[in-house]
Amino acid sequence: MADYQAMWKDLGMDLETHDQLCAVLPMAFGDTYLTQENRPENMAFYDFVVSEIHGVRPAELIELQKQGGKVFGTFCVFVPDEVVVACGGAVTGLCGGSQFWVPEGEKVLPSGICPLIKASLGAHFGKTCPYFSVADMYVGETTCDGKKKAYEILGADKKTYVMDVPQMKREKDIAAWKDEIALFAKEVEAETGNELTAENLARAIRTINEKRRALARVFEARKADPVPISGKDALLMMQIAFFDDPVRCAETANKLADELEARIERGEGVVPAGTKRILITGTPLAIPNWKLHHIVETSGAVVVCEEMCTGTRYFENEVDEGEGTLDGMFQALAQRYMKNNCACFTPNPGRVADVVRMAKEYKVDGVIDANLKFCTLYDVEKAPLADALAEEGIPCLGLETDYADNDAEQLRTRIGAFIEML
Ligand code: BJ8
């Protein structure tokens, strides 16, 4: 790996603690990823990104800043990347996925809060993540209570703009989200010093749609049996999509999709045809949270779809490209983003319908509904989801976990027994 010590120092990071993180990640990645067989060749790009995860992309973002560009750190797929990209900015996803950051987060948050939030604040306050350090500002959103309140704490330390996500999906809520997008656009214009125009926004909408289509192609390939890519590799592609440049993200995902489609034509899979197929739904799996996928895929099954924000919710539904005015585009953005079936909405029948639809489309043998500990929203949706799947005769296993490894053996036993009975 290249030497990024000087860059991290300039970013004001805690180098000593960061070194400890850098020491464990390659081992975790090696054990989880590099032990897989018959991986697509185009995963080499994603392996490279992981090997330089705190170096290569932050260095690009610093370069952008030197040319006057701004970096927006986000925590939710509701923040419309299109607006930032249109104004020449870059978006980087910041959700923390490692137990490493949790204790630091617990210094500023109660311990009974979801690990994603604790890890995110831990990464910020511990100064051990260059993506947090490089961001010019954070963009939060009012999805769950924990995040909403956490932004107050973050905002006391770094500029944090919070978007007010409606909690229902009536016409008036879509109109309210459109207004929020228009307000956010003003903020982005002020931060970047660039005007948002119908031309640059239309261009950005096309760019992000292109990225969505590329990611969707990879998921489409996962419907084949034998499946041409492991769930772990598909998850890694998704996790990296959150902080990569959108044009490159589309290029690399398209290359991967080309390879997978060729594999399908040859009837070649990453596991034998007939291997038990699992859909995972629930809270997002932020990098480097590979725990569940690893357990499933070393227990004789394969993950073929993720109905979550690090999965289908990130790329399903495109923004209508037919609008010519800024106002029309704000409306198109509002309509697209409000199709996301996050459990923060009430009621939220769309998510249950999505999981049932995808279970059929991806021809799954079983569903694992996994939420992060202390996430009430997804926890409460477990029962109606299990009922809907039972009605369709699709087995479902509900799990709750966090980032720590101490439940790995218990999870392995439960997941192993579930796969066994499929
Ligand atoms: S659109 S799923 S990315 S909010 S797991 S922090 S909900 S307590 S992450 Fe999410 Fe946006 Fe919804 Fe997607 Fe809270 Fe739950 Fe933690 Fe969560």
Residue showing tokens 């932004």: 151
Q: Whose CA is nearest to atom 17 of ligand 1?
A: 283
What is the whole-number distance in angstroms between the Cα of residue 163 and the centre of ligand 1? Answer: 14
pLDDT at site 127: 97
CA-nearest residue for atom 14, ligand 1, is 144
Beta-carbon contacts of 100 under 8 Å, excluding residues fewer than 6 positions away, are: 20, 21, 24, 119, 122, 128
Q: Give tens-digit pLDDT for 112-169.
A: 999 999 999 999 999 999 999 999 999 999 999 999 999 999 999 999 999 999 999 9
pLDDT attached to residue 1: 58
d(CA 184, ligand 1 centre) in Å = 20
User: Which tens digit of pLDDT belongs to each residue from 71-114?
Assistant: 999 999 999 999 999 999 999 999 999 999 999 999 999 999 99
- Of 74, 76, 336, 403, the one to substitute when testing ligand 1's pocket (max ligand atoms within 8 A of C-beta) is 76
What is the largest distance, in Å, between two alpha-carbon atoms of the chain? 59
Instruction: Specify the range with the lowest mean pLDDT, choosing from 19-23, 75-79, 226-230, 327-331.
Output: 19-23
Residues having CB within 6 Å of any atom of ligand 1: 76-78, 114, 116-117, 143-144, 146-147, 283-284, 309, 340, 342, 344, 372, 375, 377-378
Q: How high does pLDDT run on average in the chain?
A: 97
How much distance in Å is there from the Cα of 329 to the middle of ligand 1? 26
pLDDT tens string 171-216: 999 999 999 999 999 999 999 999 999 999 999 999 999 999 999 9
Q: Give the Å distance between the CA of 344 and the centre of ligand 1.
A: 8
CA dist 136 and 353 (Å) reads 39
Q: What does the pLDDT read at residue 24?
A: 87
Q: How confident is the model at residue 49 (pLDDT cuts 50, 70, 90)?
A: very high
| CA dihedral for 151, 156, 160, 161, sign (positive or negative) | positive
Alpha-carbon distance of 136 to 305, in angstroms, equals 34
- Is the per-residue pLDDT at 342 higher than 90? yes
Ligand 1 atom closest to the CA of 342, numbered from 1: 12
Nearest 5°: phi and psi at 399? -135, 155
The pLDDT value recorded for residue 27 is: 86
Pocket test for ligand 1, best of 77, 143, 379 (most atoms within 8 A of CB): 143
The whole-number average pLDDT for the span 266-270 is 97
Placement of tokens 């944090």 in the chain = 160
Our measurement of the distance from residue 332's CA atom to the centroid of its chain's CA atoms, rounded to an integer in Å, reads 22
Q: Please tell me the distance from the alpha carbon of residue 308 to that of residue 281, in angstroms, as a whole number.
A: 6
pLDDT at site 421: 97
Strand order in the sheet with 396-401: 301-307, 276-282, 366-372, 396-401
Give 71's DSSP letter. E
Separation of 259 CA from ligand 1 center, angstroms?
32
- Condensed to tens digits (0 to 9), the pLDDT of residues 209-244 reads 999 999 999 999 999 999 999 999 999 999 999 999
Residue 312 sits at φ, ψ, to 5 deg, of -60, -30
- φ/ψ region of 372 (left if φ > 0, alpha if ψ in -120 to 50, else beta) reads beta
Does this model's pTM top 0.90? yes
- How much is the pLDDT for 138? 98
At residue 25 the predicted structure's pLDDT band, cuts being 50, 70 and 90, is confident
* Confidence (pLDDT) at 398: 98
Residue minimizing CA distance to atom 1 of ligand 1: 342
Q: Which residue has the tokens 């350090």?
A: 133
Ligand 1 centroid, distance to 267 Cα (angstroms): 37
What's the 421 CA to ligand 1 centre distance in angstroms? 31
